[in-house]
Amino acid sequence: MFDCIICGAGPAGATAALVLARGGARVLMLDRARFPRDKLCGDTINPGTIAILRRLQLLDSLAQRAVRVDGMIVTGEHGVHVRCDYGPDALAFALVRRELDATLARAAVAAGVRFEDGVVVRGPLMDEDRGGPRVRGIVMAGRDGRDVRVPASIVIGADGRRSRFAVPLGLARHPRRPRRWAIGAYFSGVDEVSGFGEMHVRRGGYVGIARVPSGLVNVCAVVPRTAVLDNPTVILRRQIDRDPRLRRRFTRATMETTPVVIGPLAVDASAAGMPGLLLAGDAAGFIDPMTGDGLRFAVRGGELAADVALAAFAGRLGLPHAQLARLRRREFGGKWRFNRTLRRLVDRGVTVELAGLATLAAPWLLRRAISYAGDLP
User: Average pLDDT, whole number, for the chain?
Assistant: 88
Can you give the pTM of this predicted structure?
A: 0.91
Whether the pLDDT of residue 312 is over 80: the answer is: yes
The yes-or-no verdict on residue 352 having pLDDT over 60 is no
- C-alpha dist (Å) from residue 60 to 63, 114, 129: 5, 23, 46
More confident residue, 148 or 179: 148
CA 46 to chain centre: 12
Cβ–Cβ < 8 Å for 71, 78: no
Higher-pLDDT residue of 263 and 150 is 150
Question: When comparing pLDDT for 79 and 157, which is higher?
Answer: 157
Higher per-residue pLDDT: 376 or 188: 188
> Which DSSP state fits 287?
-
Is residue 356 pLDDT above 60, yes or no?
no
Q: State the pLDDT at residue 287.
A: 66
What residue segments make up the domains of the chain, in order of their start?
Answer: 2-40+97-175+266-344
pLDDT above 90 for 130: no
- Please indicate whether residue 129 or residue 195 has the higher confidence score (pLDDT): 195
Binning pLDDT at 50, 70 and 90, where does residue 128 land? confident
Q: Give the residue with greater pLDDT, 264 vs 11.
A: 11
| Per-residue pLDDT reduced to its tens digit, 317-337 | 889 999 999 999 999 888 777
Q: Which is it for strands 217-224 and 268-269: parallel, antiparallel or unpaired?
A: unpaired
Is the confidence at residue 155, as pLDDT, over 50? yes
Decide: 205 and 220 in contact? Cβ < 8 Å: no
pLDDT over threshold 80, residue 94 = yes
CA distance 251 to 240: 10
What is the predicted pLDDT for the residue at 333? 86
* pLDDT at residue 347, as a whole number: 59
- Is residue 276 classed exposed, middle or buried when 0-12, 13-18 and 19+ CB atoms within 10 A define those classes? buried
CB neighbours of residue 233 within 10 Å: 12
Annotate 63-89 with DSSP letters as a single string: HTT-EE--EEEEE-GGG-EEEEE--TT
List the CATH code of the domain at 2-40+97-175+266-344.
3.50.50.60
Mean pLDDT across 130-138: 89
More confident residue, 91 or 287: 91
Q: Which of 31-45, 90-104, 277-291 has the lowest mean pLDDT?
A: 277-291
pLDDT over 60 at 32, yes or no? yes
Check whether 131 has a pLDDT greater than 50. yes
Among 12-21, 141-150, 154-163, which stretch is predicted with the lowest mean pLDDT?
A: 141-150
